[in-house]
A and B are shown apart, each in its own frame.
Chain A
Amino acid sequence: MRRDKKNLDSKFLTGKLKTRFTEDIIAIDEHSDMLTAVVKKEAIHEVIRFLKENESLGFTFLTTLCGIHYPDQELQLGVIYHLHRFSDNSRIRIKTFLPLDNPSVPTVTDLFSAANWMERETYDFYGILFEGHPNLKRILNVEYLDYFPMRKEFPLEDPTRKDKDNRFFGR
Protein backbone atom coordinates (compact mmCIF):
# COMPACT_ATOMS: atom_id res chain seq x y z
CA MET A 1 0.00 0.00 0.00
CA ARG A 2 1.36 3.36 -0.99
CA ARG A 3 1.55 5.94 1.71
CA ASP A 4 -0.44 9.06 0.86
CA LYS A 5 1.99 11.89 1.30
CA LYS A 6 -0.66 14.57 1.57
CA ASN A 7 -2.05 13.02 4.70
CA LEU A 8 1.23 13.54 6.47
CA ASP A 9 0.63 17.13 7.37
CA SER A 10 4.16 17.86 8.44
CA LYS A 11 3.60 21.59 8.88
CA PHE A 12 0.77 20.96 11.28
CA LEU A 13 2.85 18.39 13.12
CA THR A 14 5.92 20.64 13.26
CA GLY A 15 3.79 23.48 14.62
CA LYS A 16 2.20 21.24 17.25
CA LEU A 17 5.53 19.95 18.48
CA LYS A 18 7.25 23.35 18.43
CA THR A 19 4.46 24.98 20.40
CA ARG A 20 4.36 22.28 23.01
CA PHE A 21 8.14 21.65 23.30
CA THR A 22 9.84 24.95 22.42
CA GLU A 23 12.92 24.34 24.51
CA ASP A 24 13.31 20.61 24.06
CA ILE A 25 13.36 20.26 20.27
CA ILE A 26 16.88 20.68 18.93
CA ALA A 27 16.04 20.24 15.27
CA ILE A 28 13.01 19.29 13.21
CA ASP A 29 12.86 18.80 9.46
CA GLU A 30 11.74 16.39 6.79
CA HIS A 31 14.08 13.64 5.57
CA SER A 32 12.92 11.32 2.78
CA ASP A 33 9.26 12.30 3.19
CA MET A 34 9.43 11.56 6.88
CA LEU A 35 9.36 14.17 9.60
CA THR A 36 12.38 13.85 11.88
CA ALA A 37 12.74 15.55 15.23
CA VAL A 38 15.85 15.59 17.39
CA VAL A 39 14.82 15.92 20.99
CA LYS A 40 16.65 16.39 24.29
CA LYS A 41 16.72 13.17 26.24
CA GLU A 42 14.99 14.75 29.26
CA ALA A 43 11.93 15.39 27.11
CA ILE A 44 11.87 12.17 25.07
CA HIS A 45 9.28 10.43 27.20
CA GLU A 46 7.00 13.46 27.24
CA VAL A 47 7.31 13.96 23.46
CA ILE A 48 6.38 10.36 22.75
CA ARG A 49 3.52 10.48 25.22
CA PHE A 50 2.28 13.69 23.54
CA LEU A 51 2.43 12.10 20.08
CA LYS A 52 0.60 9.04 21.30
CA GLU A 53 -2.03 10.56 23.57
CA ASN A 54 -2.86 13.92 22.01
CA GLU A 55 -6.19 13.54 20.23
CA SER A 56 -5.19 15.47 17.12
CA LEU A 57 -2.02 13.40 16.68
CA GLY A 58 -2.69 9.80 17.68
CA PHE A 59 0.60 8.07 16.86
CA THR A 60 -0.44 4.91 18.66
CA PHE A 61 2.05 2.44 17.18
CA LEU A 62 5.77 2.23 17.92
CA THR A 63 7.14 0.82 14.65
CA THR A 64 10.70 0.50 15.80
CA LEU A 65 13.22 1.60 18.34
CA CYS A 66 16.93 1.21 17.86
CA GLY A 67 20.33 2.54 18.83
CA ILE A 68 23.07 4.21 16.84
CA HIS A 69 26.68 5.17 17.47
CA TYR A 70 28.38 8.19 15.87
CA PRO A 71 31.92 8.21 17.30
CA ASP A 72 32.66 11.71 15.94
CA GLN A 73 29.78 13.43 17.68
CA GLU A 74 30.01 14.93 21.12
CA LEU A 75 26.90 13.01 22.16
CA GLN A 76 27.96 9.74 20.58
CA LEU A 77 25.12 7.35 21.27
CA GLY A 78 21.61 7.78 20.02
CA VAL A 79 18.18 6.23 20.30
CA ILE A 80 15.78 6.45 17.39
CA TYR A 81 12.03 5.93 17.63
CA HIS A 82 9.66 5.51 14.70
CA LEU A 83 6.00 6.17 15.42
CA HIS A 84 3.11 5.27 13.16
CA ARG A 85 -0.43 6.60 12.84
CA PHE A 86 -2.90 4.05 11.53
CA SER A 87 -5.59 6.54 10.45
CA ASP A 88 -3.54 7.80 7.50
CA ASN A 89 -0.40 5.63 7.65
CA SER A 90 1.85 8.55 8.41
CA ARG A 91 5.08 8.19 10.30
CA ILE A 92 7.40 10.29 12.41
CA ARG A 93 10.98 9.72 13.48
CA ILE A 94 12.25 10.92 16.85
CA LYS A 95 15.95 10.94 17.73
CA THR A 96 17.74 11.64 20.95
CA PHE A 97 21.47 11.63 21.65
CA LEU A 98 23.32 10.61 24.79
CA PRO A 99 26.89 10.92 26.08
CA LEU A 100 29.06 7.80 25.97
CA ASP A 101 29.98 7.96 29.66
CA ASN A 102 26.38 8.06 30.86
CA PRO A 103 24.13 6.56 28.18
CA SER A 104 20.83 6.55 30.02
CA VAL A 105 17.42 7.49 28.70
CA PRO A 106 13.92 7.08 30.17
CA THR A 107 12.09 3.95 29.11
CA VAL A 108 8.92 4.10 27.02
CA THR A 109 7.72 0.67 28.12
CA ASP A 110 4.98 2.37 30.14
CA LEU A 111 3.59 3.85 26.90
CA PHE A 112 4.29 0.96 24.52
CA SER A 113 4.66 -2.63 25.74
CA ALA A 114 6.35 -3.38 22.42
CA ALA A 115 9.28 -1.25 23.54
CA ASN A 116 10.26 -3.87 26.11
CA TRP A 117 12.22 -6.19 23.79
CA MET A 118 13.36 -3.38 21.52
CA GLU A 119 14.92 -1.56 24.45
CA ARG A 120 16.55 -4.79 25.60
CA GLU A 121 18.01 -5.25 22.14
CA THR A 122 19.29 -1.66 22.09
CA TYR A 123 20.87 -2.24 25.49
CA ASP A 124 22.34 -5.52 24.25
CA PHE A 125 24.08 -3.98 21.25
CA TYR A 126 24.83 -0.41 22.37
CA GLY A 127 24.80 -0.50 26.15
CA ILE A 128 22.15 2.19 26.35
CA LEU A 129 20.50 2.09 29.77
CA PHE A 130 16.75 2.56 29.81
CA GLU A 131 15.74 3.97 33.18
CA GLY A 132 12.67 2.26 34.56
CA HIS A 133 12.78 -0.72 32.20
CA PRO A 134 11.26 -3.74 33.99
CA ASN A 135 13.85 -6.30 32.83
CA LEU A 136 16.89 -4.70 31.24
CA LYS A 137 19.19 -7.60 30.32
CA ARG A 138 20.69 -9.03 27.15
CA ILE A 139 18.16 -10.49 24.74
CA LEU A 140 20.05 -11.81 21.68
CA ASN A 141 23.71 -12.18 22.62
CA VAL A 142 25.19 -14.62 25.09
CA GLU A 143 24.92 -13.49 28.69
CA TYR A 144 28.67 -13.55 29.28
CA LEU A 145 29.51 -11.15 26.43
CA ASP A 146 31.49 -8.37 28.13
CA TYR A 147 31.09 -5.66 25.53
CA PHE A 148 28.44 -4.05 23.31
CA PRO A 149 29.21 -5.34 19.82
CA MET A 150 27.57 -2.62 17.70
CA ARG A 151 29.63 0.17 19.24
CA LYS A 152 32.30 1.33 16.84
CA GLU A 153 35.21 0.85 19.23
CA PHE A 154 34.77 -2.93 19.10
CA PRO A 155 35.74 -5.01 16.06
CA LEU A 156 32.95 -6.96 14.40
CA GLU A 157 35.20 -9.97 13.89
CA ASP A 158 35.56 -12.59 16.54
CA PRO A 159 38.75 -11.60 18.35
CA THR A 160 39.71 -15.21 19.12
CA ARG A 161 39.89 -16.41 15.53
CA LYS A 162 43.43 -17.38 14.53
CA ASP A 163 43.16 -18.98 11.09
CA LYS A 164 42.47 -15.82 9.12
CA ASP A 165 45.47 -14.12 7.57
CA ASN A 166 44.63 -10.46 6.98
CA ARG A 167 46.62 -10.41 3.74
CA PHE A 168 44.09 -12.71 2.12
CA PHE A 169 41.12 -10.63 3.18
CA GLY A 170 42.24 -7.21 1.97
CA ARG A 171 42.79 -5.89 5.46
Chain B
Amino acid sequence: MKTASYNKVDPPEGFTSPGIFATTFDKVVGLARKNSIWPLPFATSCCGIEFMATMGAHYDLGRFGAERLSFSPRQADLLMVMGTIAKKMAPVVQQVYVQMAEPRWVIAVGACAASGGIFDTYSVLQGIDRIVPVDVYVPGCPPRPEQIIDGFMKIQELVGKESLRRRYSQEYKDLLESYGIR
Protein backbone atom coordinates (compact mmCIF):
# COMPACT_ATOMS: atom_id res chain seq x y z
CA MET B 1 0.00 0.00 0.00
CA LYS B 2 1.29 3.42 -0.93
CA THR B 3 1.69 6.04 1.71
CA ALA B 4 0.41 9.56 1.16
CA SER B 5 2.97 11.61 -0.78
CA TYR B 6 1.74 15.06 0.25
CA ASN B 7 2.98 17.19 3.11
CA LYS B 8 0.84 18.42 5.91
CA VAL B 9 1.33 21.74 7.63
CA ASP B 10 1.99 21.46 11.34
CA PRO B 11 -0.71 22.92 13.56
CA PRO B 12 0.10 26.15 15.38
CA GLU B 13 0.95 26.26 19.07
CA GLY B 14 -2.08 25.59 21.21
CA PHE B 15 -3.73 23.56 23.87
CA THR B 16 -4.54 20.00 22.92
CA SER B 17 -6.87 17.68 24.74
CA PRO B 18 -8.91 14.70 23.51
CA GLY B 19 -11.46 16.12 21.08
CA ILE B 20 -10.33 19.76 21.57
CA PHE B 21 -7.73 21.99 20.13
CA ALA B 22 -7.51 25.57 21.34
CA THR B 23 -5.30 28.30 19.93
CA THR B 24 -5.51 31.99 19.11
CA PHE B 25 -7.44 33.34 16.15
CA ASP B 26 -4.32 35.15 14.87
CA LYS B 27 -2.47 31.90 14.49
CA VAL B 28 -5.25 30.12 12.63
CA VAL B 29 -5.71 33.00 10.22
CA GLY B 30 -1.94 33.30 9.79
CA LEU B 31 -1.68 29.58 9.08
CA ALA B 32 -4.40 29.75 6.44
CA ARG B 33 -3.02 32.89 4.83
CA LYS B 34 0.58 31.83 4.64
CA ASN B 35 -0.24 28.57 2.91
CA SER B 36 -2.49 30.07 0.27
CA ILE B 37 -0.74 33.21 -0.89
CA TRP B 38 -1.86 34.43 -4.30
CA PRO B 39 1.09 36.15 -5.90
CA LEU B 40 0.83 38.84 -8.56
CA PRO B 41 3.91 38.55 -10.75
CA PHE B 42 5.13 41.90 -12.03
CA ALA B 43 7.90 40.59 -14.26
CA THR B 44 9.77 43.02 -16.46
CA SER B 45 13.02 41.28 -17.30
CA CYS B 46 15.39 38.39 -16.60
CA CYS B 47 14.25 37.93 -12.98
CA GLY B 48 10.84 37.23 -14.48
CA ILE B 49 12.37 34.36 -16.46
CA GLU B 50 13.78 32.94 -13.23
CA PHE B 51 10.33 33.26 -11.71
CA MET B 52 8.87 31.27 -14.61
CA ALA B 53 11.34 28.52 -13.73
CA THR B 54 10.27 28.84 -10.10
CA MET B 55 6.65 28.33 -11.09
CA GLY B 56 7.50 25.40 -13.34
CA ALA B 57 7.31 21.72 -12.45
CA HIS B 58 10.90 21.40 -11.28
CA TYR B 59 10.86 24.03 -8.53
CA ASP B 60 7.07 24.24 -8.26
CA LEU B 61 5.99 27.17 -6.16
CA GLY B 62 2.67 25.36 -5.89
CA ARG B 63 4.19 23.34 -3.07
CA PHE B 64 3.87 26.47 -0.96
CA GLY B 65 0.22 26.97 -1.74
CA ALA B 66 0.97 29.61 -4.32
CA GLU B 67 0.18 27.86 -7.55
CA ARG B 68 -2.67 30.24 -8.21
CA LEU B 69 -1.13 33.38 -9.71
CA SER B 70 -3.43 36.32 -9.66
CA PHE B 71 -3.11 38.57 -12.66
CA SER B 72 -5.65 40.92 -11.16
CA PRO B 73 -4.23 43.00 -8.32
CA ARG B 74 -7.59 43.00 -6.55
CA GLN B 75 -7.40 39.32 -5.67
CA ALA B 76 -3.66 39.20 -5.02
CA ASP B 77 -1.95 39.00 -1.64
CA LEU B 78 1.66 39.34 -2.71
CA LEU B 79 3.13 41.70 -5.27
CA MET B 80 6.28 40.17 -6.72
CA VAL B 81 8.27 42.82 -8.56
CA MET B 82 10.88 41.10 -10.68
CA GLY B 83 13.06 43.20 -12.91
CA THR B 84 14.11 46.73 -13.73
CA ILE B 85 11.47 49.36 -13.09
CA ALA B 86 11.96 52.44 -15.22
CA LYS B 87 10.95 55.76 -13.70
CA LYS B 88 8.22 55.96 -16.28
CA MET B 89 6.78 52.69 -15.00
CA ALA B 90 6.96 53.66 -11.31
CA PRO B 91 3.41 55.13 -11.16
CA VAL B 92 2.09 51.88 -12.68
CA VAL B 93 3.73 49.75 -9.98
CA GLN B 94 2.36 52.05 -7.34
CA GLN B 95 -1.11 51.92 -8.84
CA VAL B 96 -1.01 48.13 -8.92
CA TYR B 97 -0.04 48.18 -5.24
CA VAL B 98 -2.87 50.59 -4.40
CA GLN B 99 -5.37 48.34 -6.19
CA MET B 100 -4.42 45.35 -4.07
CA ALA B 101 -6.66 44.66 -1.10
CA GLU B 102 -5.28 44.58 2.44
CA PRO B 103 -3.49 42.65 3.75
CA ARG B 104 -0.85 42.87 1.05
CA TRP B 105 2.84 42.10 0.89
CA VAL B 106 5.60 43.05 -1.52
CA ILE B 107 8.73 41.18 -2.49
CA ALA B 108 11.47 42.86 -4.54
CA VAL B 109 13.20 40.13 -6.55
CA GLY B 110 16.64 40.86 -7.96
CA ALA B 111 19.13 43.68 -7.75
CA CYS B 112 17.16 46.00 -10.03
CA ALA B 113 13.91 45.88 -8.12
CA ALA B 114 15.79 46.15 -4.84
CA SER B 115 18.19 48.98 -5.70
CA GLY B 116 18.26 49.74 -9.41
CA GLY B 117 21.08 47.24 -9.81
CA ILE B 118 23.59 47.99 -12.55
CA PHE B 119 21.22 50.55 -14.02
CA ASP B 120 22.44 53.53 -12.07
CA THR B 121 21.06 55.94 -14.62
CA TYR B 122 18.66 58.81 -15.10
CA SER B 123 15.84 56.66 -16.44
CA VAL B 124 15.69 53.81 -13.90
CA LEU B 125 14.00 53.82 -10.52
CA GLN B 126 16.68 53.13 -7.90
CA GLY B 127 14.72 50.48 -6.03
CA ILE B 128 10.97 49.98 -5.76
CA ASP B 129 11.07 50.86 -2.06
CA ARG B 130 11.00 54.47 -3.26
CA ILE B 131 7.38 54.07 -4.29
CA VAL B 132 5.92 51.13 -2.32
CA PRO B 133 6.82 49.55 1.02
CA VAL B 134 8.78 46.32 0.53
CA ASP B 135 8.68 43.35 2.91
CA VAL B 136 11.40 41.09 1.53
CA TYR B 137 14.33 41.76 -0.79
CA VAL B 138 15.87 38.93 -2.81
CA PRO B 139 19.41 39.71 -3.94
CA GLY B 140 20.91 38.35 -7.15
CA CYS B 141 21.26 39.30 -10.77
CA PRO B 142 19.15 37.37 -11.46
CA PRO B 143 18.54 35.25 -8.35
CA ARG B 144 18.21 31.52 -8.83
CA PRO B 145 14.81 29.91 -8.25
CA GLU B 146 16.05 28.61 -4.90
CA GLN B 147 16.65 32.19 -3.79
CA ILE B 148 13.21 33.28 -4.96
CA ILE B 149 11.70 30.36 -3.02
CA ASP B 150 13.75 31.40 0.01
CA GLY B 151 12.39 34.93 -0.30
CA PHE B 152 8.90 33.55 -0.68
CA MET B 153 9.33 31.47 2.49
CA LYS B 154 10.45 34.61 4.34
CA ILE B 155 7.21 36.21 3.18
CA GLN B 156 5.29 33.17 4.45
CA GLU B 157 6.99 33.63 7.81
CA LEU B 158 5.90 37.27 7.93
CA VAL B 159 2.37 36.40 6.84
CA GLY B 160 2.04 33.64 9.43
CA LYS B 161 3.21 35.84 12.28
CA GLU B 162 1.37 39.01 11.39
CA SER B 163 -1.08 40.18 14.02
CA LEU B 164 -4.61 40.90 12.87
CA ARG B 165 -4.35 44.47 14.11
CA ARG B 166 -1.16 45.47 12.35
CA ARG B 167 -2.87 46.99 9.30
CA TYR B 168 -4.96 49.24 11.55
CA SER B 169 -2.02 50.53 13.55
CA GLN B 170 -0.93 54.15 13.40
CA GLU B 171 2.57 53.00 12.49
CA TYR B 172 1.30 51.25 9.37
CA LYS B 173 -0.84 54.22 8.39
CA ASP B 174 2.17 56.49 8.76
CA LEU B 175 4.22 54.12 6.61
CA LEU B 176 1.70 54.31 3.78
CA GLU B 177 1.38 58.05 4.27
CA SER B 178 5.15 58.39 3.79
CA TYR B 179 4.71 56.85 0.34
CA GLY B 180 1.75 59.07 -0.44
CA ILE B 181 -0.61 56.07 -0.48
CA ARG B 182 -4.02 56.41 1.17
Contacts and interface: CB of A to CB of B under 8 A. Distances in A.
Contacts of B88: 140-142
Interface in B77-130: 87-88, 115-116, 120-124, 126
A145 B120 contact: no
Interface string B112-150: 000110001111101000000000000000000000000
Contact of B120 (A140, A142, A149, A161): A161
A161 B126 CA distance: 7
Given A141-B88, A142-B87, A142-B88, A160 B122 contact: no
A140 B126 CA distance: 18
Contacts of A163: 115
Given A158-B116, A161-B116, A163-B115, A145 B126 contact: no
Nearest to A145: B122
B134 to A, nearest CB: 14
A71 to B, nearest CB: 18
B122 A149 contact: yes
Interface in A114-171: 140-142, 145, 149, 154, 156-158, 160-161, 163-164
A157 B124 CA distance: 10
Given A142-B87, A142-B88, A156 B122 contact: yes
8 contacts: A149-B123, A156-B122, A157-B121, A157-B122, A158-B126, A160-B126, A161-B116, A163-B115
